[in-house]
Amino acid sequence: MRSIPRMAAAVAALALAAACGSTETAAPAAPAPGVSGFTPPKIDALASLGAGEGQVNLVAWAGYVEDGSTDPKVDWVTEFESSTGCQVNTKTAGTSDEMVNLMKTGEYDAVSASGDASLRLIAAGDVAPVNTSLIPNYADVFPGLKDKPWNSVGGVSYGVPHGRGANLLMWRTDTVNPAPDSWGVVFDPASPYKGKVTAYDSPIYIADAAVYLMSTKPELGIKNPYALDDTQFQAAVDLLKQQRTIIGEYWSDYTKEIQAFKSGDSVVGTTWQVIANLATAEKAPIEVTLPKEGATGWSDTWMVAAAAKHPNCAYRWLDWIISPKANAQVAEWFGEAPSNSKSCAETADPKHCDTFHATDEDYFSKVYYWTTPIPQCLDGRTDVTCKDYAEWTRAWTEIKG
């Protein structure tokens, strides 16, 4: 695993990122792009770019909008502000549910939405289609990230890809032996690590169980971990209820997982690369891998609020954050593959794009990007109804007890 610049100073800020996750029931998710019957609310994209409004209010994941306050050497905001005249105000969110709820307030202009939030935002009319002709750097985004089910509907783009990465398996090298190559280590009810297994605290984690079942129980016929019929869904829920008996704690707070691995309270579980980077910087003896069954992952999308008060500054931000230099900076800091193909020539570490498989579509073919579960099955089946996000949310509450 690659070590990135020390980010210990980020820990205090990250503690706030998950402090106010929503407990509200999720709104019904939108059907998938191309599914009969789904018509997004009629909202026009910005037709032309006007003068900047002087500021832009963003909702973002921690590490996506850095202005030097975390680390003076990590700053892609100051140059944006000076070159555009748009002052950046950022609200860091810790979960996708929190992002959805924040965007409903009407106080924010743009959001870095993951795939388990994007369709909900589109269906609710909280975000608008994006006129990519007003975003010059969009032309250089990897084709594998454009026009995907989590960022487009019916061929209409609703945002620009920020980057992508996989949800990984992390373990303490001084405790977990041999080094695991399968998610089985976190699902084994007889695990020797009982009480020290950790998992991501979100309904979307049901998809991680589905990925494991795709490989271990092929008779279930799961083809897409976000398209689960009654039988498939129940199998995933049952697996997670079984896993609950060996879980020490669920995490949604960066700092808690880092500290748990440092102290040994957690020794194996799901993680993000940025957490592994921070844990390594904090001297925790950890390693990560993409397990043989594959993994869930993310391809976040910068989306513009339908009622944005500062749309021109928002568009300028979307173009800036996917520009080669800025996109390279955020990709290295966060620990992910950039979305702009030209960013690979701008990274401080010349091997960054190789390390994070930026151009390796075979690697990412094993990653199932977060996508909002909907009743119309995303795998194309029409003879069954799949469980939607609201049902995933109810099941998650039941799983955790």
Q: What percent of the chain has pLDDT over 70?
A: 91
* Of 32-41, 142-151, 179-188, minimum mean pLDDT range: 32-41
Q: Are residues 171 and 232 in the same domain?
A: yes
CA 248, CA 329: separation in Å to the nearest integer? 35
Q: Are residues 189 and 284 in the same domain?
A: yes
Containing structural domain, residue 238: 165-296+372-400
C-beta atoms surrounding 349 within 10 Å:
15
Give me 21's structure tokens: 């996750």
Collect all residues with Cβ–Cβ distance below 8 Å to 149 and sequence separation of at least 6.
32, 33, 115, 119, 371, 378
Whose structure tokens read 């879980």? 247
Q: Are residues 169 and 96 in the same domain?
A: no
The CATH number for 55's domain is 3.40.190.10
Q: Is the pLDDT of residue 362 over 70?
A: yes
Task: Establish if 127 belongs to a structural domain.
Answer: yes
Q: Are residues 57 and 105 in the same domain?
A: yes
Q: Is the pLDDT of residue 320 over 50?
A: yes
Q: Are residues 40 and 154 in the same domain?
A: yes
Task: Establish if 325 belongs to a structural domain.
Answer: yes
pLDDT tens track for 197-228: 999 999 999 999 999 999 999 999 999 999 99
Q: Are residues 129 and 249 in the same domain?
A: no
pLDDT number for residue 158: 97
Q: Is the pLDDT of residue 31 over 80?
A: no
Collect all residues with Cβ–Cβ distance below 8 Å to 143 and sequence separation of at least 6.
none
Task: Establish if 39 belongs to a structural domain.
Answer: yes
Task: Establish if 332 belongs to a structural domain.
Answer: yes
Q: Are residues 11 and 153 in the same domain?
A: yes
- The rounded mean pLDDT for the chain is 89
pLDDT number for residue 272: 87
Q: Are residues 20 and 140 in the same domain?
A: yes
Give the predicted TM-score (pTM) of the model.
0.81
pLDDT mean over 83-87:
98
pLDDT tens track for 36-81: 335 899 999 999 999 999 999 999 998 999 999 989 999 999 999 9
CA 234, CA 7: separation in Å to the nearest integer? 40
Q: Are residues 118 and 76 in the same domain?
A: yes
**Overall number of domains in the chain:** 2
Q: Are residues 170 and 241 in the same domain?
A: yes
Q: Are residues 259 and 325 in the same domain?
A: no
Burial code of 335-345, b = ≥16 C-beta within 10 A, e = fewer? bbbbbbbbbbe
Q: Are residues 249 and 393 in the same domain?
A: yes
Task: Establish if 48 belongs to a structural domain.
Answer: yes
Q: What is the band of 22 on the pLDDT scale with cuts at 50, 70, 90? A: very low
Q: What is the band of 277 on the pLDDT scale with cuts at 50, 70, 90? A: confident
Task: Establish if 271 belongs to a structural domain.
Answer: yes
Task: Establish if 59 belongs to a structural domain.
Answer: yes
pLDDT number for residue 334: 87
Q: Where are the alpha helices (DSSP H) in 25-114?
A: 78-84, 96-103
Give me 235's structure tokens: 């199998």
pLDDT number for residue 38: 59
Q: What is the band of 300 on the pLDDT scale with cuts at 50, 70, 90? A: very high
Per DSSP, which regions of 62-167 are E strands? Answer: 87-93, 110-113, 127-128, 152-153, 156-157, 160-161, 163-166
Task: Establish if 367 belongs to a structural domain.
Answer: no
pLDDT tens track for 236-269: 999 999 999 999 999 988 889 999 999 999 999 9
Q: Strand, helix or coil at 398? A: helix
pLDDT mean over 347-365:
92
Higher pLDDT, 102 or 401: 102
